[in-house]
Structure 1
């Protein structure tokens, strides 16, 4: 028999667990009671975990949102890094930057993190600009390789050196072609294009974006940090910059009925193609409402 105190503690624990679950489920229901935006994304914007399918006893699956920010530079030297779309630095207008009320750089930029909002753009002008930069980079590589080949022939290089140079150019050509293909077919089309602590400031930006190149736009919460380059003492004029550390929600649970559409590919030999309906609710929190398999690519 339980002692009275033990019974009370057990009852309190049960009530606490039920209360927490009720609160969480209630918030989920309220969030999903109003759909404010719906995006049709694919494997380009939703990353499957590398280990998916390797542990047969684990049938759970979460997809991570793959996003980037507009490029601050398109120089050839930076392309190897930027072509992987790992950009997180975002330049802001002064009102948006000031809304975060960052402290002095003497406090360290690492500790200058604030909660705020970002403006997401899907398949809009930012992605078109990225494609244009990728195409220009590809064209520059072609022109440079052709010029190098002509110069080597005119210089009367030995046959073995010509062959070695030709092999090197072929490898560079293949890398350039692969980067251009990835930009067209695999790169994420989801961009963070603005940020502010005050949601109303982004509403103004949202209102200015319209027309056929605007894409789909929505506001979501995120964690914003002061950019390390902003605090560099190089005495040059700078435009305010921040680093978008993470979106408030960027890992999505895939329900078992949807996960079953995705074949387990332990060897990762094929690119799994799929489409997913992503809905954002009342509190700007996303969930998957549908997922269909498009096929696989060797």
Structure 2
């Protein structure tokens, strides 16, 4: 019996060692060579853990990637939004879904399918500029109406706050395209400092109104949506607290790289205290 236990124990240890070696080899291969993408993100695009700083102990720190897209009505002043909360982007229409390999012949069943594709995330580019323009247009309309009653006054205040939020706090990282060929997407978006290519799941959606069928799609979180801050870099976050970040009295930057397997890692952390967030 003891011999069997020893064999089982040795086998278990060997399996753990083999799995760890496999994982480390994958990490090393992902990070070998020049990064496929390398973006400098801030607290606008990276969310700290909910309990960060509450207990006085930093421990491990994982940041969540915050990204957005434009709703289908591109004229809507509120159409920039966080992709984690719902509807698909305007550009993810029937033609794009077919390009991604979806069979839309049977509209009733199309929503059941899903597949992993490559998604382009654009930092502080044209998509964000359009979001700023929409927020400004909303404020301009509210100013034109004036504030003769409470409803108009509330609308004006809301538009002012929305523009301020878009300018100073909202994520500037937008999903702008998707495809099956990462190399082709990189040719279309060659700047590796402003456009990251990530792996994410797309699921079609079907809407039928007045017997008219419209196809759209939802993008799930990237295959790696949370990124661990290396232990050697965690000291840079000392003194940064959530209250200061939320109020804009503190900020941070993190250099994030994506490798051969389109998996991200953090290469540098730079806190900025006493600054306006952004």
For residues 81 and 96 of structure 2, the distance between their equivalents in structure 1, rounded to whole angstroms, comes to 27
Specify every segment of 5 or more residues in structure 2 that has no aligned partner in the other structure, as ranges.
none
Structure 2 matches for 1:66-145, cutoff 5 A? Answer: 66-74=66-74, 79=78, 82=79, 84-86=81-83, 88-90=87-89, 91-92=91-92, 96-98=96-98, 99-102=100-103, 104-107=106-109, 109=111, 111-144=112-145
Structure 2 matches for 1:200-239, cutoff 5 A? Answer: 203-204=183-184, 206-209=186-189, 216-227=194-205, 230-232=206-208, 234-236=210-212, 238=214
For residues 265 and 21 of structure 1, the distance between their equivalents in structure 2, rounded to whole angstroms, comes to 34
Equivalent in the alignment of 1:190:
173
Distance 1:264 1:183, change over 3 A: closer
Distance 1:6 1:102, change over 3 A: farther
Distance 1:136 1:215, change over 3 A: farther
Pairs aligned (count) = 267
**Partner of 1:194: helix, strand, or coil?**
strand
Equivalent in the alignment of 1:4:
3
Distance 1:287 1:217, change over 3 A: same
Q: Give the structure with the larger helix fraction.
A: 1
For residues 129 and 240 of structure 2, the distance between their equivalents in structure 1, rounded to whole angstroms, comes to 33
Equivalent in the alignment of 1:25:
24
2:162 corresponds, among 179, 183, 190, to 179
- For the pair 1:294 / 2:243, whether they are aligned, the reply is no
Contact 1:42 1:274 in 2 (8 A): yes
Distance 1:31 1:204, change over 3 A: closer
Distance 1:26 1:88, change over 3 A: farther
Q: Could you list the per-position Cα deviations for residues 185-218 of structure 1 after superposition, in whole angstroms to 9, with x for gaps in the alignment?
A: 111111111123x216xx445534579xx97223
**Partner of 2:68: helix, strand, or coil?**
coil
- TM-score, normalised via structure 2 length: 0.83
Deviation at 1:279, TM superposition (A): 0.7
For residues 254 and 165 of structure 2, the distance between their equivalents in structure 1, rounded to whole angstroms, comes to 20
For residues 186 and 31 of structure 2, the distance between their equivalents in structure 1, rounded to whole angstroms, comes to 23
Q: Could you list the per-position Cα deviations for residues 97-133 of structure 1 after superposition, in whole angstroms to 9, with x for gaps in the alignment?
A: 1233346343372x32211111221221111111111
For residues 241 and 48 of structure 1, the distance between their equivalents in structure 2, rounded to whole angstroms, comes to 31
Equivalent in the alignment of 2:232:
257
- TM-score, normalised via structure 1 length: 0.78
Runs of 4+ in 1 over 6 A off after TM superposition: none
Deviation at 1:19, TM superposition (A): 0.5
Q: Comparing both chains, which one has the higher relative contact order based on Cα–Cα distances under 8 Å and sequence gaps of 6 or more?
A: 1
Specify every segment of 5 or more residues in structure 1 that has no aligned partner in the other structure, as ranges.
150-164
**Partner of 2:212: helix, strand, or coil?**
coil
The structure with the larger Rg is: 1
Q: Could you list the per-position Cα deviations for residues 48-99 of structure 1 after superposition, in whole angstroms to 9, with x for gaps in the alignment?
A: 12221123456121111110112322556x72xx455446503336564123
